Amino acid sequence: MEPFTHRHCSLTTLLLACLFFSPIMVASLGINYGQIANNLPSPENVIPLVKSIGASRVKLYDADPKVLKAFANTNIEFIVSLGNEYLSTMKDPSKAQAWVKKNVQAYLPSTKITCIAVGNEVLTFNDTSLTSNLLPAMQSVHTALVNLKLDKQVTVTTAHSLAVLETSYPPSAGAFRKDLVDCVTQIVDFHCKTGSPFLINAYPYFAYKGNPKQVSLDFVLFQPNSGIVDPESNLHYDNMLFAQIDAVHSALASIGYKNVCVQISETGWPSKGDADEAGATSENARKYNCNLMKLIGQKKGTPMRPNSDLNIYVFALFNENLKPGPSSERNYGLFKPDRSQAYPLGFPAVDAVSTNSSSSGGHSGSGTGTTPSTSLPPASSSSGYLAITSDSGTSLSSCKSLSLYVLGFISLALQL
C-alpha cells in the first residue's frame, strides 16, 4: 500500500481475487495458524491444506522458524506476531532490530512476510503498563524495518478486540470507548503514516452465545433473512459481521480517519462446545465459515464500503487441544490435527487433501508444538494468543465495553 497522509489517508485498495467454489478463480483468503497443541502436523504437511482452501495469507501468533522455513517459495503472505509479554522489551530499538533481523529479515524474500503484529487485543486488557508500551513497541519495530530497508515490504500493526468500541449499533453510530480515544487516535495516526492496516478481531458467535433467544441465528450465519436497516444511514444489513465492520469504519471516521484500511484479523465459529455454549455445532460452523468464504470470493464489500474488498482472516486452521477454557476454545479449526476436515467444507481440493491425509499418517507425531527455538525475545509467545471465549478473565469479555457491544447487536437483531 502507498503511505497514508495524516487524518485523511489515501487507501490503495488491496485487490482480492478468490478461489471459492470454483477452481478457476484466484484465492485471497486469510487463515489464522495457531499452534497451541501437541498433535499438529508438520508445517510441510500444512502447506497443501492452506492451498486447498484457496488461502493466500497466513497469520501466525509468533514467528515460528519451522513454519517460515517450510513456506518458503510458496508465495503465501505471512503476518508474524510478537506477544504482549514482549512489548516492554520491544521499546528498546536495539532489541527490536535484533528481533526483526532474526525473525523477519532472515526469511526474506523466500518467505513472503508482509506484516508484523505487535501485541494482541492490548487496549482491552485495561492494563495501563501494556497500553503505554504498545505504540512505542510498534514504533521501534517499524524503525528497525526502516533501518534494515524493509519498511516498503513489511508493515507493523496490532490486533484489537471489537470491545474497543463503546457504541456499535447502529453501525453508523460506531464509536470508540472514550477512555481509549486518545490512544487509538495515536495508533491510527501511526497506521496512516506507515501504510499499515487497522486490525479487528470480530466474532458474531459471542452475540449469539450470549442471547440465543434474542439474536437471529440466520443473521449471524449469513443465511437468508430480512435483515435490518440502519436508521441513520438507511443502509441495509443482512449479517452481523458486516454491521460490526461498518461500526469500526464509523468509529474511525468519528476520530477523523475516514479511509483507513480495516482488516478482520480473526473471525470464526466453533464446531463443538459445552452444554452452555449455545450454537457451537459443526453445522453452524460450516454455515458461518463457508458462507463467509463465499462472500469473500464474490468480492462483496460491506454496505458502507461496497467497493472495498473484504480483508478477512478466518480463525482457525486447526483445532488446538491444549487451549484452556471451555470446549469451544479447542474447536475453532477448519481441520482436525490428522488433517481431515472438522466438517464438510465443500471444496474438491480440500476433499482430496483430506483423503490423502487419512492414508498418509497425518501429523506423523512431529507436531510444531508451542515453543519454537528461542530468539531475542523468543519467537514464540509463551502464552500464545488470547483466549477468545467469554469465560476467560483476560479475554474479550474482560473488557468493560463488551456488554455494550453485545447489547448493541442484540438491539440490532431484535429488529429482524
DSSP 124: G
Nearest to 20 by CA among 267, 357, 350, 287: 350
Contact 413, 215 (CB under 8 A): yes
Cell readout for 204 is: 458474531
Nearest to 324 by CA among 224, 258, 377, 395: 395
**Cross-strand pairs, 165:** 176
The catalytic residue positions are: 121, 266
Contact 202, 262 (CB under 8 A): no
Contact 290, 268 (CB under 8 A): no
For residue 367, give Cα distances in angstroms to 4, 40, 197, 320, 341.
41, 5, 32, 11, 18
Nearest to 74 by CA among 27, 111, 19: 111
